[in-house]
Amino acid sequence: MKRSLTLGYVPLVDAAGLIAAQSQGFFADEGLEVTLSREASWATIRDKVAVGALDGAHVLAPMVIAQTLGVGSDATPMIAPVTLACDASAITLSRRLGLDDARPAAALAERVAARRTMDASPLTFSSVFPYSTHNYLLRLWLSEAGVDPDRDVRLTIAPPPRMPELLASGIIEGFCAGEPWNSVAVAAGSGVLAARACDIAPGAPDKVLGLTEAWSRRHPETLAALIRAVVRGLRWTADPDHHDQLAEVLSQPHCLGVPRAMVAGGLAIARFDEGRPTHDQAAWLLDQMRRWGQVQGPGPDAEAVYRPDLFDQAWAKA
């Protein structure tokens, strides 16, 4: 049985389950020796998992589907045996826009319409990756307000830690990203929270544990042990009594490097107790990928990518 693993993560509050599994010794309890490797971008994580430089990683929920289909990268069959977080992101708008805080979506739509009649350049919004729940949430929120995300605004991609600075310097007018970056922008005074993920599409999966299908076939016992340890990490994380302790770990410079209060805010909002991945989650993601033109033709079977069966088997083997 393979015991030594390297798992990648991007510094975000919703990586807490993996970080807790490490700091609370749940990996060690399963006989696993895990190294957590902080990665600078989703593209790097995707490539490293595909070529085996990482055994698995904290990845964006739609990434495993995109990678399996080969959209945006070479096709690599992937699996998601654990959902790491739901409802962990939010949309923040620039305070400079001066919109009515009580009805940000409608106020934004009016502004966009006004700018169009003046022939002003479209407002710019960022999400974190083309294949991210954040991209879909931002698009849904804009469309529901009557703003066409492809025609009325400019959508770009930026790394989450840079969002507050891009907002403050006026390069973007809004973003959808995970915590703590919304809290950081709001605390800095440059951002106003406009909507939370749970207001737009409650229960939409944010991050999953992603591994290649080939890896999971080669190391079934290791996979079962990994699932058990990660789920213990998630359950520990979901308990509000542990949030102070966890915020302390996450706020360290080598992890997120932001004040504890901002981490704690994010921990309180995200849902970590949905560890079992469901085919409904995969179907919702695939719907979004189709709606926004990322996928044409038949998609992969949800059964092939989101794997509640492996999640359930992990307990049978324990």
Partner 1 sequence: MRVLVVDPDSARAALVAEGLSGVEPLEVRHAALYDPAEAAAFVPDVVVVAAESPDRDTIDSLREGSLTNPRPVVMFVDRSEAGLAEEAVRAGVAAYVVNGLAPERVRNVLEVAMTRFQLMHQLRKDLDKARADLLSRKTIERAKALLMKERGLEEEAAYRLLRKLSMDTGRPLGAVAADLLAFAGVLKGDPS
Between residues 52 and 202, which has the closer beta carbon with respect to partner 1?
52
Which listed residue (1, 28, 51, 318) binds partner 1 by CB under 8 A? 51
Residue 1: is it exposed, middle or buried by C-beta count within 10 angstroms (0-12/13-18/19+)? exposed
Q: Name which of 171 and 304 has its Cβ closer to partner 1.
A: 171
- The answer to whether 52 contacts partner 1 (rule: CB under 8 A) is yes
Distance CA 94, CA 294 (A): 28
Question: What is the CA angle 81-83-86, rounded to 5?
Answer: 165
77 near partner 1, judged by CB under 8 A: no
Which residue bears the tokens 């992937």? 78
Span 154-173, contacts to partner 1 by CB under 8 A: 154, 156-159, 161-162
Q: In the set 73, 143, 278, 313, which binds partner 1 (CB under 8 A)? A: 73
Give the shortest CB-47-to-partner 1 separation in angstroms: 5
- Of 120 and 318, which CB lies nearer to partner 1 in the complex structure? 120
User: Which residue lies nearer to partner 1 by CB, 38 or 96?
Assistant: 38
How many whole angstroms separate alpha carbon 75 and alpha carbon 67? 5
How is 204-246 classified by DSSP, letter by letter? -EEEEEEEEHHHHHH-HHHHHHHHHHHHHHHHHHH-GGGHHHH
Q: Alpha carbon 210 to chain centroid distance?
A: 12
| 126 three-state secondary structure | strand
* 3-class SS of residue 133: helix
Q: Establish if 95 lies at the interface with partner 1 (CB under 8 A).
A: no
How far apart (Å, rounded) are the C-alpha atoms in residues 237 and 220?
26
Q: Which of 1, 53, 114, 188 binds partner 1 (CB under 8 A)?
A: 53
Least distance (Å) from partner 1 to the CB of residue 132?
9
Alpha-carbon separation of residue 191 from 89, 251, 301 (angstroms): 15, 21, 40
- List the one residue from 48, 115, 276, 279 that touches partner 1 (CB under 8 A): 48
CA atoms within 13 A on the CB side of 318: 16
Q: Please, what is the minimum distance in Å from the beta carbon of residue 164 to partner 1?
A: 14
Residue nearer to partner 1 on the CB measure, 172 or 310: 172
Q: Please say which residue, 41 or 313, places its beta carbon nearer to partner 1.
A: 41
245-254 burial, b if ≥16 CB within 10 A, otherwise e?
Answer: ebbebbbeee
Q: Starting from the edge strand earliest in sequence, which strands make up the sheet with 154-157, in order?
A: 154-157, 124-127, 174-178, 89-94, 191-196
> Which of residues 47, 199, 213, 273 is near partner 1 by CB under 8 A?
47
Mask: binding to partner 1, 121-160, rule CB under 8 A, as x and -?
Answer: -------xxx-----------------------x-xxxx-
Do 251 and 258 meet the contact criterion of CB atoms below 8 Å apart? Answer: yes
Stretch that binds partner 1, among 66-74, 88-96, 99-107, 214-222 (CB under 8 A): 66-74
Interface with partner 1 (CB under 8 A), residue from 6, 72, 97, 259: 72
**Identified binder of partner 1 from the candidate list 50, 198, 249, 304, rule CB under 8 A:** 50
CB of 159 to partner 1, least distance (A): 4
Enumerate binding residues for partner 1 (CB under 8 A).
40-44, 47-48, 50-53, 72-74, 128-130, 154, 156-159, 161-162
